């Protein structure tokens, strides 16, 4: 079932979400619907607050770089080097992430901030501890788009949006557009 993606200006996007305490059938249903919604909207990640549920739950599916000659991207999974694609799609609860490395500018967008893309500076690597839906824990150490996406999605769980993280000059440029978005959501 496709879910309604909440838009900028909705207070559900600004709340601090609660930890998930039990992995129930309802939760698994929600995950299925979130993945379906993410694919339908061509997103690479979706956090539960974006569909109106303030719990610490995220789904991610990052495609392989399809450029010819590009190599399979490898990341560390529970201390072993594995292809990034081997853990996709990824659904997890109660993430703990530790961004590290050098600050990197990258253009971000968000399914909840329609029509706006902007450069955001974030550390280029992340160590993460994620609980999967079978209760197992996945420890990741990664860079690239996954590191970016993990930081963006985990921000949603604390009520932050990427437009909060742009430079102050960009904030001024975006202010009018965001006001309009909030008024027309
Ligand atoms: Ni987003």
The pLDDT of residue 71 = 82
What token pair was written down for 155?
A: 């921000």
- Gap from CA of 101 to ligand 1 centroid (Å): 22
Q: What residues contact residue 90 under an 8 Å CB cut-off, 6+ apart?
A: 58, 59, 60, 61, 130
Residue 29 three-state SS: helix
Question: pTM (2 decimals)?
Answer: 0.96
The pLDDT of residue 185 = 82
- CA–CA dist 16, 8 (Å, integer): 16
Torsion-angle region of residue 152: left (phi > 0), alpha (psi -120 to 50) or beta?
Answer: alpha
Q: In the predicted model, what is the mean pLDDT of the chain? A: 96
The pLDDT of residue 75 = 96
**pLDDT tens digit string along 118-159?**
999 999 999 999 999 999 999 999 999 999 999 999 999 999
Is the model's pLDDT at 70 over the cut of 80?
no
- Gap from CA of 112 to ligand 1 centroid (Å): 6
64, 96, 108, 153: the active-site residue:
153
The pLDDT of residue 86 = 95
The stretches of 10-100 forming alpha helices (DSSP H) are 25-40
- Gap from CA of 46 to ligand 1 centroid (Å): 6
The pLDDT of residue 65 = 76
DSSP bridge partners of 128 = 97, 140
Q: What percent of the chain has pLDDT over 70?
A: 98
The yes-or-no answer on residue 153 being catalytic is yes
- Which pairing describes strands 118-132 and 90-108: parallel, antiparallel, or unpaired? antiparallel
What token pair was written down for 91?
A: 């659904």
- Gap from CA of 152 to ligand 1 centroid (Å): 6
**pLDDT tens digit string along 22-66?**
999 999 999 999 999 999 999 999 999 999 999 999 999 999 877
């Amino acid at each position: 079932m496709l879910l309604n993606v909440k838009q900028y200006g909705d207070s559900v996007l600004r709340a601090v979400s609660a930890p998930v305490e039990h992995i129930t059938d309802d939760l698994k249903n929600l995950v299925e619907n979130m993945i379906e919604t993410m694919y339908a909207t061509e997103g690479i990640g979706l956090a539960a607050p974006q569909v109106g549920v303030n719990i610490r739950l995220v789904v991610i599916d990052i495609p392989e770089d399809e450029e010819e000659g590009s190599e399979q991207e490898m990341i560390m999974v529970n201390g072993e080097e594995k292809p990034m694609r081997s853990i996709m799609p990824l659904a997890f609860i109660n993430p703990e992430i530790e961004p590290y490395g050098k600050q990197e500018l990258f253009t971000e967008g968000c399914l909840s901030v329609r029509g706006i893309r902007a450069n955001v500076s974030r550390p280029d690597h992340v160590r993460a501890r994620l609980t999967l839906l079978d209760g197992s824990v996945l420890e990741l150490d990664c860079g690239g788009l996954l590191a970016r996406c993990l930081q963006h999605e985990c921000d949603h769980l604390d009520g932050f949006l990427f437009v909060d993280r742009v430079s102050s000059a960009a904030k001024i440029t975006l202010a009018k557009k965001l006001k309009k978005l909030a008024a027309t959501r």
